[in-house]
Structure 1
Amino acid sequence: MKRAASWKRFTLALTLAAVSVSAFAEDQLAKVKKAGELVVGTEMQFAPFDFLENGQQAGFNKDLFAEIGKELGVKVRFLDLPWPSVLPGLEAGKFDMVGGPLTVTKARMERYAYTLPVADATDALLKRANDTALKQSSDVAGKTIGAAKGTAQLDQLKAYVATLPHAPTIREYVDNNQAYSDLAAGRIVAVANAMTNIAYVAKQRPETFAVLTPPFGAKVYYAYCVRKDADSKPLLDAFNTALLKIQADGRLATLQKKWLGTSMTVPTTMPTPNF
């Protein structure tokens, strides 16, 4: 009887150990494959990457992630969230990755693991089309301008205006559409965002908006991100492998031209951020 009880305890220990090893071995990519679904947190107020058209998601991200999903053999499900809650949601494990996309910055690279870049993210200013007082970025000195809260664009804007003789007042918005509405209504004189985004906005509403050139920001890129841990690395590697394939066969350039207005060269290795 003692030998039988001892054998049962030994068998149970082996079973528990096997379960523990199996759970440990199931990284984020394995979980995505098992679920058959990649869950992406984003904000659908960020045209041309993510926005709502007749109540349905549209934009660059939807099309690109559809191609990524084909390569990974999974479906893609997006969660539409206010931008300030997206990165905390990733850290809390509420979804697999962030599809903003995000500007690649030194500070964020310390906290998150980026995919390879997908587009240019150099910052510029959007103004009203009939505003003849703004001819270059420095003309916003002493005026009121806007940017989205919790963004790298806001950080770059703050760094830029600190170099001006009369610092403008900066209003921070929950999403870019609110900033664009205030700009159109004359409550602010400009909105800072990536050139890629504001060029799209100006193209959609040329009678209302225009882009101030040249851009004021440093050369930076857009990418997506995952949690910076060992469990997420296989997912990051698989995503990058799929992205490089999509870039090599021309699908990425096609989507860039469709949604961003032009195809653009992006690095095939992660560049060192400028800020």
Structure 2
Amino acid sequence: MHVTTKTTGRFGHTLRAALLGAAVLALGGVATAQADTLADIKKAGVINVATEMQFPPFDFLENNEYKGVDRDLIDEVAKELGVKPKYIDLPWTSVLPGLEAKKFDLVIAPVTITKERMKRYSFTVPISEATAAMMKRTGDNSINKPEDIAGKNVGGGKGTSQLAQVKEFAQGLTPAPTIKEYVDSNQSYADLAAGRVDVSVNSLPNLAFAAAQRKETFTVVLPPFGKPSFFSWVGRPGEDDKSLVEAVNAALVKIQKDGRMASIQKKWFGVSAELPTVVPEPLF
């Protein structure tokens, strides 16, 4: 005999409501645990951060040891968060896609804040100036200002905002320069030293560091040709990662106010500069 049990009346409605409420609470608890990246990081005690370690002085390898501005900054930020950082080295073209695919928690590669990127990512407060500039071979008197690259060979990192800016800048020059794209900046610098390109394009801090290391080979072309801009770290947009970006921002502001930021800047740039404590509106 098949027996069907049917719950009716006030008790039945109350039971169903109680079971439904319990299910909602249970699901809500799971959703909260899964949706709060910062909580997950603190529970694990580790923040997974990615960059390209071919971008001195921000990120580079020296005797297989990770060094640079971002390494020093993320170590301080991790202390403020009460966790340890795990550093992941990737090609630049894989860094932002990896963030979107949730392969790590935060991008600490310096990313230029642009209007287009702000539609897709959540930026932290700035970690450095990022204005685009050019570097030439020392002694090349044919290039004394940015406009002198007309008809020249120009090298820059593929997918960077600096390369995008020089392409736009080049549209107003006659004859047009030839622009070559490189996997990383070091390859562009190598071709500049060898005479295969006439200038390399990057952010002013990167070029100033490279020129200081090899004064006999490289000289920065001033003034910078790019619009004033800043480098920041990048998180995913949305509620899941909001608390993480807010916590990183609070840590970066604290590091700037207590002098640790200035010490790191002087170590790598030779000078210190005050940075915005809010995410600035990009000019391009």
The range that moved more, 218-227 or 254-263, is 254-263
CA contact (8 A) 1:200 1:261 kept: no
Match of 1:22 in 2: 29
Q: TM-score, normalised by structure 2?
A: 0.91
List runs of 5+ in structure 1 lacking aligned partners: none
Match of 1:105 in 2: 114
| Letter of the 2:230 counterpart | Y
How is 1:1-275 mapped onto 2 (pairs within 5 angstroms)? Answer: 17-26=24-33, 27-275=36-284
CA contact (8 A) 1:29 1:234 kept: yes
**Percent identical across equivalent pairs?**
49
Q: How many residues align?
A: 274
Supply the RMSD in Å over aligned alpha carbons.
2.0
| Letter of the 2:62 counterpart | E
Q: Which whole-Å CA distance do the structure 1 matches of 2:115 and 2:105 have between them?
A: 22
After TM superposition, give the deviation of residue 14 of structure 1 in Å.
6.5
Q: TM-score, normalised by structure 1?
A: 0.94
| Letter of the 1:216 counterpart | F
After TM superposition, give the deviation of residue 17 of structure 1 in Å.
4.0
Matched residue SS, 1:265: coil
Matched residue SS, 2:261: helix
After TM superposition, give the deviation of residue 198 of structure 1 in Å.
0.4
Match of 2:9 in 1: none
1:19–1:205 Cα change, 3 Å:
farther
Deviation readout 1:51-106 (Å, 9 max, x if unpaired): 00011101011111010001000001111000001100000000111111101100
Q: Which whole-Å CA distance do the structure 2 matches of 1:12 and 1:59 have between them?
A: 55
| Letter of the 2:231 counterpart | Y
Structure (1 or 2) with the larger CA radius of gyration = 2
Deviation readout 1:250-275 (Å, 9 max, x if unpaired): 11111111112210121112211010
Q: Which whole-Å CA distance do the structure 2 matches of 1:20 and 1:124 have between them?
A: 52
List runs of 5+ in structure 2 lacking aligned partners: 7-11
After TM superposition, give the deviation of residue 12 of structure 1 in Å.
7.8
